[in-house]
Structure 1
């Protein structure tokens, strides 16, 4: 096991679009049980579409504000600020956006690690060569069990 406590400044950093994902605990470090990250999302950041996947996830907002779109028919819009915790059961349609004008930082955990960690790493590698083609990103998502559901619908 790596030295504890974890020094975030020394952790691996992955980029997905404008979002920064700092890997605090990889699946390799804990037998695949979880993928723990610090998420840094600039204004306007976050996945552009609703999606769902089998791993459950939980976010604790450290600073700034994140907007979660959760569920289907109707989609619920939840705004979370510092100290707020948002758990999402596996299979729940959702997306996360930073709709504020300041950077947001959150601690997040995906359990089990595999699908989300593998998608994150492969999407990061795709983007390393420049702006990836959308069809390539969709193929990576599908390969890792992430179903893209389309744009965020109107909320109630």
Structure 2
């Protein structure tokens, strides 16, 4: 016996249309792991359903090996990015979309000599908040990270490790990439 689908809930008039321009004045740009991440659509704007982040990844940029309890999808807009997923390496070029299932060990690196750009959607949201709490605000989508001394770098690493469990994230031992 087939059940009738539940009716759609009513519109939520407290939610607003979001139009995001990564280069607009007032956009939030975060330097983290050698990259610059621009918060396009935040969890606060989607009632926690997802977030969308514009990622500028310079040559050699990318986060350490990690995993988290949420889905993550990347669309490469410019350049190429090398993804390591459960130990297997795949190179994604502009126009390619890569989906990382929840809880799978992964990371990415820009192995080319030119900057790369990606969109990253996380569902549910939370990664946007984690990045804002771990990284440093910078002035634009392509701004380099601030020059930090050893003590400041160590403090950022400690902060990321301390906050990771709150954002369902686990940093894993380096796999040599």
Q: Which residue is equivalent to 1:62?
A: 77
Alignment map for 1:1-156 (pairs within 5 Å): 4-10=18-24, 11-47=27-63, 49-71=64-86, 75-114=87-126, 116-125=127-136, 130=148, 131-133=152-154, 134-152=157-175
Q: Which runs of 5+ in 2 are unaligned?
A: 1-14, 138-144
Tell me which stretches of 4 or more aligned residues in structure 1 moved more than 6 Å. 126-129
1: CA distance, partners of 2:147 / 2:163 = 15
Counterpart contact for 1:62–1:83, Cα < 8 Å? yes
Decide which structure has greater helix share: 1
Cα deviation for residue 63 of structure 1 reads 0.4
Query: Normalising to structure 2: TM-score of the pair?
Result: 0.76
| Cα distance, 1:30–1:151 mapped onto 2, change above 3 Å | same
> Helix, strand or coil for the counterpart of 2:23?
helix
Deviations 1:60-118 (A, max 9, x none): 000011110001xxx1101001011100111111001111111000111000002x122
Give the greater-gyration-radius structure (CA).
Answer: 2
Q: Which runs of 5+ in 1 are unaligned?
A: none
Counterpart contact for 1:69–1:152, Cα < 8 Å? no
Query: Normalising to structure 1: TM-score of the pair?
Result: 0.85
Instruction: Work out the number of aligned pairs and report it.
Output: 149
